[in-house]
Structure 1
Amino acid sequence: MSQASGGFHQRLQRLEPRRQQAFMAVLCERLLPNYVLYAQTSGYGDPHGWRVILDLVWERLVVHDAKIDFERQAEKLAELEPPADDDSFGARRALEAVVALSALLDTLRGEAPEAVLEVSRTSKGGVRAFIELTEGEEDAGRLAALVRDHPLMADENDFQDAVLEAVEGSLDRDAVKLLRRLGRNGGVSNLGLSMD
């Protein structure tokens, strides 16, 4: 895989900002079910509000001169974070969705050269945490191998590879629509969780 060779991060960083934003938007789209499930089980959060903000990002990707106040969107997003004192697994995954979208908004508000790597790592970090939680392996070496070889991690790496390849190609209106569908991933998140 291109990720193992170390070329993946370089390719991500070489992308022009709009392509990086498209990459991040796809990953955010795929993180949404984690946020929704947390909101449904905890009663905290606002999936609709989160969705509206990401929809505005997609709009900007299609209509370059769309007048959108991303400063204001970032303020709204900050209000959608899980409560700081909720340290549950679900809250941490919901926070990842907020952090990823926040990093994406940072790029739309100005310079944020590391944002694309942050979003990539955030999505992978959630998968790693999920595997660690479900496998319950104490030995660090065995756990690292489990994470590396786990089907969910393989799926995450393959997914990010596919998204990177897609954003390196055409980014016309139809391509952006296809990217959005790719991110929706049939309603299944990076953790293999579904909203239904």
Structure 2
Amino acid sequence: MSGFHQRLQALEPRAQQAFMAALCERLLPNYALYAQTAGHGSPAGLRAILDLVWERLSVREARIDFALQAEKLAELAPPEGDDSFGARRATEAVAALSALLDTLQGEAPEAVLEVSRASRGGLRAFIELTEGEEDGERLAALVREHPLMADENDFQDAVLEAVEEPLGRDELKALRRLGRNEGVSNLGLSAE
């Protein structure tokens, strides 16, 4: 695992941003599901901000005010008092996108690790919720061996391998498709 984190931190900033953008793509359906059920938030608003990130990754000269986008994003977060499972996962999606916007506005050396951990952490919480296992050791083993966690680890490995190569337009499109995962989130959920 630490080798994975070292590789992440060794990436140039643009490659780190591409990694985070792909992970954000996979977190978006969790936000969309929350917005549908809670009647709060705007999946289209998040989508628009993430689309601007991809545009900036593709077109280096693109002039985008990411400070303004960060302000818009903050307004889309679930209300602070909502401690529901869905709100926590939606908050993770917002936080991941926020960390990505931080890197586009300047130095945020830990952001890429935060986004990687947030995606795995939300999944861990989901497995804990669905498996209903009380015993800590057994639960840890369940999480480690869970097919969704295996899928998440494979996904993050695939994204990391992709961004370690030069990223032209075609590679970015492929990465974005990988992140979109046909509309299925890291939790195996779809907002369709």
Per the normalisation by structure 2, the TM-score is 0.99
TM superposition shift of 1:65:
1.3
Q: Distance in 2 between matches of 1:118 and 1:47?
A: 22
Structure 1 CA distance for aligned equivalents of residues 150 and 121 of structure 2: 13
| Offset from partner CA, 1:49-97 (integer Å, 9 cap, x none) | 1100000000000000100000000000000000111100000000000
Aligned to 1:39: 35
1:134 lines up with 2:145 in the alignment: no
Question: What is the SS of the residue equivalent to 1:189?
Answer: coil
Aligned to 1:8: 4
Runs of 5+ consecutive residues of structure 1 not aligned to the other structure: none
CA-based RMSD:
0.5
The alignment status of 1:193 with 2:189, answered yes or no, reads yes
Q: Which runs of 5+ in 2 are unaligned?
A: none
Distance in 1 (CA, whole Å) between partners of 2:80 and 2:151 is 30
Q: How far, CA to CA, are the matches of 1:47 and 1:148 in structure 2?
A: 30
* 1:155 paired residue number: 151
Q: Which residue of 2 aligns with 1:84?
A: 80
**Cα deviation per residue 1:138-186 (whole Å; 9 max; x = unaligned)?**
1111111110111111100000000000001120011111111111001
**What residue is the counterpart of 2:15 in the other structure?**
19
Match of 1:114 in 2: 110
Structure 1 vs Structure 2: percent identity of aligned residues? Answer: 80
TM-score of the superposed pair, with normalisation by structure 1: 0.97
Structure 1 segments of 4+ aligned residues over 6 angstroms from their partners: none
**What CA distance in whole angstroms lies between the structure 1 residues aligned with 2:177 and 2:151?**
17
- 1:30-56 superposed Cα distances (whole Å, 9 cap, x missing partner): 000000000000000011111000000
Tell me the number of residue pairs that the alignment of Structure 1 and Structure 2 aligns: 192
2:93 equivalent among 76, 90, 97 = 97
Partner of 2:59: 63
1:195, 1:175 → 2: CA distance?
Answer: 26
